[in-house]
Structure 1
Amino acid sequence: MSFNGEQHPGVQTPTADSAGFRLNHTMLRVKDPEKALAFYTRVFGMRVLRRLDFEEMQFSLYFLARVEEGEPVPEATGERTVWTFSQKGLLELTHNWGTENQADFCYHDGNAEPQGFGHICFSVPDLEAAEAWFDANAVEFVKRSDQGKMKNVVFVKDVDGYWIEVVQADRLAALGD
């Protein structure tokens, strides 16, 4: 028997019309792409799969992923664009040109009032090693794994103030009801 998902009020059975649908990416707006790219590539080991510039509308999109060693990625830009939009779990950083030059410019992180967007999440193989890595790279913590009511869950901030949850999957088996 295949897993059909947990059942809760409001859950409906998917129809054949949505067969093949998958979540491809989550988008965050960034003030300065150089700083954001440095953070996500260095601290979280992501790679830029594709940059798309839209000169008429004055913005750029950067699609990032944690590519596994040896995973084949197309070299040709058109093929890589198609491949990028067929992946799971990408991060899109959107840069509206000129924001990096505005000293007081910032985006709402979703956690200040009024709350909305909350966070993205990375799974790591060793939570203590990840915390040490964040300390070594001067990453700002919202919450460490030994703080608060939810142990074994870390929250850090990226350079734009967005929250990033960091978990070690095998420590979460007893989480929730």
Structure 2
Amino acid sequence: MAKLIHTMIRVRDLERSLAFYDAVLGMTPSHRLDFDDFSLVYLRNAEADAEIELTWNKGRETPYTHGDGYGHVAVVVDDARAERERLLGLDAGLGVAPKDLREFRNDAGELLARYFFIEDPDGYKIEVLEKHGHYR
């Protein structure tokens, strides 16, 4: 069977993106490939085998567009409320601005999901879900 190993996103400022993913998700480089025109940096943490691949096209000035097809990357944390509060306290230079904490409930009022969104320096959406039910 196939195994998901990474998701690739393009970034404009590699150092800023590395600082963001380290501070926000605890993801640090596990592998790096540098070429004349671009670099590939694979990020991971101890929580999962799957990685995020940052592709940095050197010298690019204009922001990337996400089109209308990109949705988000999702991560899980033990406590979404506490994680949102932690992120609110991070250095403002990282540009971390967590959106409101939200919940999905079924018709009986049972909690299905608790989550919030953030965006990385290039505008990629990241959903931060609390470990609960389907989301483990």
Normalising by the residue count of structure 2, what TM-score does the alignment of the two structures yield? 0.81
User: Does the aligned pair in 2 maintain the 1:145–1:151 contact within 8 Å?
Assistant: no
Residue 117 (str. 1) matches residue 70 (str. 2): yes
- How far residue 155 of structure 1 moved from its aligned partner, in angstroms, is 0.7
SS in 2 for 1:117: coil
- How far residue 126 of structure 1 moved from its aligned partner, in angstroms, is 1.0
User: Does the aligned pair in 1 maintain the 2:79–2:131 contact within 8 Å?
Assistant: no
User: Does the aligned pair in 2 maintain the 1:64–1:92 contact within 8 Å?
Assistant: yes
Distance 1:23 1:151 in 2: 23
User: Does the aligned pair in 1 maintain the 2:27–2:44 contact within 8 Å?
Assistant: yes
User: Does the aligned pair in 1 maintain the 2:74–2:127 contact within 8 Å?
Assistant: yes
Residue 144 (str. 1) matches residue 100 (str. 2): yes
After the TM superposition, list the runs of 4 or more consecutive aligned residues in structure 1 that deviate by more than 4 angstroms: 147-151
Higher radius of gyration, 1 or 2: 1
Q: Cα–Cα, structure 1 residues 147 and 67, in superposed 2: closer, same or farther, change >3 Å?
A: closer
Distance 2:103 2:4 in 1: 32
CA deviation vs aligned residue, 1:48-70 (integer Å, no higher than 9, x gap) = 00110122xx11000000125xx
Q: Cα–Cα, structure 1 residues 144 and 151, in superposed 2: closer, same or farther, change >3 Å?
A: farther
User: Does the aligned pair in 2 maintain the 1:47–1:67 contact within 8 Å?
Assistant: no
2:46 alignment partner in structure 1: 67
Q: 1:41 aligns with which of 2, 22, 45?
A: 22
- How far residue 140 of structure 1 moved from its aligned partner, in angstroms, is 1.9
CA deviation vs aligned residue, 1:139-166 (integer Å, no higher than 9, x gap) = 123x322379896121111111100000
Kindly indicate which of the two structures has a greater share of residues assigned to strand: 2
Q: Cα–Cα, structure 1 residues 144 and 91, in superposed 2: closer, same or farther, change >3 Å?
A: same
2:65 alignment partner in structure 1: 108
- How far residue 88 of structure 1 moved from its aligned partner, in angstroms, is 3.5
User: Does the aligned pair in 1 maintain the 2:117–2:127 contact within 8 Å?
Assistant: yes
Could you tell me the percent identity over the aligned residues? Answer: 39
Distance 1:108 1:140 in 2: 20
**Count of residue pairs brought into register by the alignment:** 125
- How far residue 109 of structure 1 moved from its aligned partner, in angstroms, is 3.2
Instruction: Extract unaligned runs of 5+ from structure 2.
Output: 106-111
